[in-house]
Amino acid sequence: MPVTTFPLGDRGVDDVRRAAALLAIPLTWALVLGETVGSAVAGGADDRSGGSGRGGSLGTGNGYVDRRAWRDRQDAFLAFATEELSPTSPANVLAHATRAERDRSFAFDARTIGPEHFARTFEKIDAFLDTSDFDLLALMALWQRHRRDLAPELRSAIEQRFLRFRYWYTDPLPAGVVDEKWFWTENHRIIHHTLEHLAGRALPGATFAVTGETGRTHATRGRQRIEAWLDEKARWGFSEWHSDVYYQEDIEALTLLAEHAERGI
């Protein structure tokens, strides 16, 4: 793995701080959060051997692991996560789709999952309920990696949630709606900003229902807020450092950004 250098540019120290603070995220995600691990690693869609992959180190120095051991851990998790299909769980469907992408011996047809299977998740998002941003993040991961494998009706239903979601508390509130989502805490902030940026990139020419703005506008706004969050964390550290669950939410969002955001974030 080549060593990445970070030109100081105009902001100099801030750029270095941001880079240093975030270097460990991909490895942490691979070891701790298995739901989307298959989509975050080298090989991905083009490596369907189902084996351990090539040996050798992923890099040099402390903090790096053997490539084969890394792949084996991922495969072991996916085997566990796909012991039983739960078609109403986006995370479980994602695990099945990811394993099928990596392992030729594993059969799973994502087209068998329809909008009716995700009805409860859609209802929660449509009702602006607390933690529905977590649910939309799982749908975003599924859409980003496997949208071409999904049934057209399910793909369209997910995209409708991208268009109808309220991405920030200063956005207009639809008539008759009480928005119960949390926006301002550390993990919810990066999740909302990630969702806004990626949804805008996914549907750049579409009009988003809450604001009446285009996807391009939302992608830009989301990027600006993501960069502000990253700069804040790089400079001051994490405010939810004492939580054993919120780091997972942070890393899920940051991994999706690493895979699908505009270059340069």
Domain count, the chain: 1
265 is a domain residue: no
Q: Give the model's pLDDT for residue 264.
A: 87
Q: Which two tokens stand for residue 10?
A: 């105009």
> Which of residues 180 and 24 earns the better pLDDT score?
180
Where residue 175 falls among pLDDT bands split at 50, 70, 90?
very high
184 is a domain residue: yes
For residue 214, list its beta bridge partners: 207
Average pLDDT of the chain to the nearest whole number = 84
CA 88 from centre of chain: 19
What gap in Å lies between CA 50 and CA 53, rounded to an integer? 8
- Per mean pLDDT, which range of 44-53, 64-73, 85-94, 116-125 is the poorest? 44-53
Q: Give the model's pLDDT for residue 33.
A: 41
Residue tagged 């301002």 (tokens): 184
6 is a domain residue: no
71 is a domain residue: yes
**DSSP string for 94-124:** HHHHHHHHHBTT----GGG--GGGGHHHHHH
197 is a domain residue: yes
Per-residue model confidence as pLDDT tens digits over 3-13: 333 343 444 44
8 is a domain residue: no
Give the structural domain span for 179. Answer: 13-260
7 is a domain residue: no
Instruction: For residue 262, give every residue at least 6 positions away whose Cβ sits within 8 Å of its Cβ, in sequence order, or none.
Output: 197, 201, 219, 223
18 is a domain residue: yes
* Residue 123 clears pLDDT 90, i.e. is over it: yes
